[in-house]
Amino acid sequence: MDQARSAESNLAITFMSRTRCVLLLTVSVSYNSGMSDREKLAEMLRARSVRHGQFTLVSGRTSEWYIDAKLTTFTARAMPLVGRLFLEKITERGWMPAAVGGLTMGADAIAASIAHESVEPRGGEGREIDSFVIRKEAKKHGTKAFLEGLIDPAGKAVVVLDDVCTTGGSTITAIDRAREAGLLVLGAICLVDREMGAEQNIQELHGCPFDRVFRFRELV
């Protein structure tokens, strides 16, 4: 195909609708070769991750829209796009992190994608950015730490990541634990911001600069 690429996967997703009916979906994503990285990733998120129905969010709020970003961020085709778009955002903000990461597991695939793309010429032009993971619970053995992946983290400049932000609770937990470990948090970036209070809670109330790749309204 000269003008279009087709990325297809047969992803069986089941979920309960308002009528308690189980639906089986087949996901097919197509995009034109002239589309930007941002346009391609937006199409993948719409096809794979955005769902309509009745849902209870992590924050406890209810919504007729739900996004499971991991159904996109963990895929081979999405990872380079995710890595490059986050690197672009980091560069726009003028941040120079030694590493990126966040609370498992929403941030895990994003952090790995950024780290990989940071050493690719098309991505970070050879500037290496490592990745790390923040556990939801501390190890019960060994170092008993929340932080994984960094040797001697004290004083390292980092950017905290998340896949979907609603009120920002998970991101704030990651920021707090990163700071407790001695990391210098330059800011936080979310893949999709639902615009339900995250920016205010993270930036204005928690003193951490905040940005996003997409606003949720761009995807619906």
Grade residue 113 by pLDDT with cuts at 50, 70 and 90.
very high
Grade residue 125 by pLDDT with cuts at 50, 70 and 90.
low
In the predicted structure, residue 147 carries a pLDDT above the cut 90: yes
Q: What is the maximum alpha-carbon separation in the chain? A: 55
CA distances from residue 10 to 25, 37, 40, 180 in whole angstroms, order as listed: 8, 22, 18, 43
In the predicted structure, residue 37 carries a pLDDT above the cut 80: yes
CA distances from residue 209 to 7, 136, 165, 172, 177 in whole angstroms, order as listed: 35, 22, 14, 12, 16
pLDDT, residue 2, reads: 43
The average confidence (pLDDT) of the chain is: 84
Side-chain-facing half-sphere of 20: CA atoms under 13 Å: 0
The yes or no reply on domain 78-218 and CATH 3.40.50.2020 is yes
Domain boundaries, the chain: 4-73, 78-218
Angle between helices 37-48 and 78-93 (to 10 degrees): 130
